[in-house]
Amino acid sequence: MSKVRRIVTGFSVVLLTAPAVVILSMFSYSAFYYFKYKVFLDSTFLAKQIFNSQPFVIYYAVLMVFLLFSLVFTIGKIKNIGIVLSHAAVILIIGSSMAASEKGHEVIGRLFGVEKIPTGEIVIYKGQTEDKVWVTPEKQKPLPFAIRLVNLRIEFYHPGVLHIRNLEGKYWQMPAEPNAAQYLDPNTGMVQVLNVFKNFKVKTENDKTSAYDSPDGGSNPAVRISYTSPRGAVVKKYIYAKFQNPVLPDDKIYIDYIIDVKDYFSYIEILVDGKVAASGIVEVNRPFSFGGYHFYQKGYDTQTENFTVLGMVSDTGLKPFYVGCIGLMAGVSWHFWFRHLFAKRKKAEESDAH
Amino acid sequence: MHIKDTILGLLIYFAMGLYLLAFIATLVRLRKIGKLLFMIGFVAALGAWIFRWYLVRHIPLQNLFEVFLFLGLAVYPLSIFCLRALRTGGFAADMLIGAIVLFPAGFIFSEVPMHLPPALQSWLFVPHVLVYMLSYILMTKAAFQAFLQLDNYKNNPAANLIDNEEATYRLVCAGFPLMTAGLVLGSIWAKLAWGDWWGWDPKELWSLAGWLVFASYFHFRSLFGKKFSRINSLWAIAGFVIIVITLLWANLSRLFAGLHAYA
């Protein structure tokens, strides 16, 4: 190994270890802060501040230089293909991340005159159209198109589940299905499900109130349960999925009605000059792309299911990032695995020939 | 800590018991019996994992209970692979590692089934977790070899195994591409699910720290070879410590609340 190459490799050890030491120090500081002030620091926020700070921008630049150096030393030799590929891939990944950042968008805008919004959030009500994006919690920017939320569909896991806890911390779980019963323990009693409502409402007729499952819009899942205490007293209660449920009297057990969301979909249309230019579905893990942006399913109105929250991210730097990912995986696995397998096979063939 | 009086729990305890018996048998030089018990333990752990799959109706790698159950079954095939393909030792230690990783599944983590949240319903879920877990086992084996190297332990020449420093290196070489794949697949998945391939979440940070430590291990070793073999070993052990933090502490401590909280 040449002297210069040794120096570059030696510095690489320091460059690779430095962020790991920073991460360790950051969490050690968080732990110290907690033990001293009993307050948890937001480590994600802290990490963003540290790794996007000026010294780290310099670090990334130095790292890029060293990665380029490593390419100079290793390129041209067949046995180094994996090293070249993985180091070039890391350059692509860091470069594409820099391009995708806010500063990267600013620089690209100044150099090439391409004005793009790096990231933002769009809140759209059912049937409504939105042509602005929230780039910060206080600031909106206009979009070069408008988005209409045609429909919002939410799928739940059925049946829901009742989570039951007593004051001793004992825990039971039962399906929220009509007639389902759960014997707790001799000191806690029994719970039975009487009715299940998808959209619980109450009506009054002839001075008599009664609960019913409303076919109208909205969602208010609830169950009516019967709780039998160890002393034989029976209490009937409604347990709601979206509201705080009381502690059942005397025996003090807590019951929560949990209906997990399976998936949610926003059916959207993109309007350019008032005309539909594209339409599609935004789902978690399946973003929708249009006009150099990707739209992600970020959230929805959990109470009335009337609006959706879409994340909007510019696609700047995305292709080089994916190429970098593939290059890194290919380079590392070639260098550490496949080249040895090929060498082994070649050696075996050579010894067979002899 | 609680005992699971279910079929699943019993299968886990059975596998744990067999792994421990296999370890004891190997220690008292009943190697063939040890191997057989290790294999039967693996079948029990595999049975538990498949039964869990049947119960939750998705590949069980969602939470720490399922992940540790998987680690308990993956130890055996990886141990055989390392012994035959890499010629690394530590076969008896793997039996103990198997019992240790099954312990949290058997006694600590809850087996209450959980629905897959929307973010986890991705084709990347299984490969991302799977490659990480396989890499963690290989890195654990590497750390064990590093400990032996620091302790100046010498392998039995009749066993035809490579020395402990070289074994550490080979195991890290075997695990590092899997670790890289875990990091890359996780980033691609985060991009598809949340719109950003890097969220500065504590689990992400610790997994990056682990990857960086092993990457710098390779650079250090390519620079000095076996000249500072004890430092090489300490480097591998440092990587293992970060893996433990990534796998356990980052999930369990409120100090590290983040995007991976559901795990």
Cα angle B66, B70, B74; round to 5: 175
B184 close contact with A: CB closer than 8 A: yes
Nearest-angstrom CA–CA distance, A302 and A308: 9
- Chain A nearest C-alpha distance from B125 (Å): 11
Mean pLDDT of B30-53: 97
SS (H, E, C) B237-259: HHHHHHHHHHHHHHHHCHHHCCC
Find chain A residues with C-beta within 8 A of B117's C-beta: 260-261
User: Phi, psi (5° rounding) for residue A315?
Assistant: -90, 15
Find chain B residues with C-beta within 8 A of A159's C-beta: none
Q: Using one digit for the tens of pLDDT, what is the confidence trace for A201-227?
A: 998 888 888 888 888 767 788 999 998
Average pLDDT, chain A: 90
Mean pLDDT of A162-185: 88
pLDDT band at A248 (very low <50, low <70, confident <90, very high): low
With a CB-CB cutoff of 8 Å, which residues 203-222 of chain B face chain A?
205-206, 208-210, 212-213, 215-216, 219-220, 222
Mean pLDDT of B43-61: 96
**What pLDDT, on a 0 to 100 scale, did the predictor assign at position B2?**
80
Tokens of A343: 């060498």
Average pLDDT, chain B: 92
Minimal Cβ distance to A47: which of B184, B195, B205: B205
Dihedral (Cα; B82, B88, B92, B95), 10-degree rounding: -30
Minimal Cβ distance to B177: which of A157, A263, A332: A332
Mean pLDDT of A242-255: 72
Give the lowest-confidence range in A214-218, B70-74, B81-85. A214-218
Q: Do A34 and B255 touch (CB under 8 A)?
A: yes
Find chain A residues with C-beta within 8 A of B138's C-beta: none
Examine the pLDDT at A37 and tell me if it is beyond 90: no
Complex ipTM over 0.85: yes
**What pLDDT, on a 0 to 100 scale, did the predictor assign at position B260?**
61
Mean pLDDT of B164-185: 97
**What pLDDT, on a 0 to 100 scale, did the predictor assign at position B56?**
92
Q: Do B121 and A263 touch (CB under 8 A)?
A: yes
**What pLDDT, on a 0 to 100 scale, did the predictor assign at position B258?**
58
Give the lowest-confidence range in A3-17, A33-47, A261-275, B109-123. A33-47
Q: Do A16 and B173 touch (CB under 8 A)?
A: no
Smallest CA–CA distance from A51 into chain B, residue: B200
pLDDT band at B257 (very low <50, low <70, confident <90, very high): low
Mean pLDDT of B207-225: 95
**What pLDDT, on a 0 to 100 scale, did the predictor assign at position B253?**
66
Q: Using one digit for the tens of pLDDT, what is the confidence trace for A86-108?
A: 999 999 999 999 999 999 999 99
**Cα–Cα distances in angstroms (integers) from residue A198 to residues A48, A86, A167, in the given order:** 42, 53, 29
**What pLDDT, on a 0 to 100 scale, did the predictor assign at position B153?**
86
Find chain A residues with C-beta within 8 A of B115's C-beta: 157, 260, 262
pLDDT band at B114 (very low <50, low <70, confident <90, very high): confident
B181 close contact with A: CB closer than 8 A: yes
A283 phi-psi bin (left φ>0, alpha ψ -120 to 50, beta other): beta
Examine the pLDDT at B262 and tell me if it is beyond 70: no
Helix (H) or strand (E) holding A239: strand A234-240
Give the DSSP letter string of B91-124: HHHHHHHHHHHHHIIIIIS-----PPPGGG-STT
Helix (H) or strand (E) holding A249: none
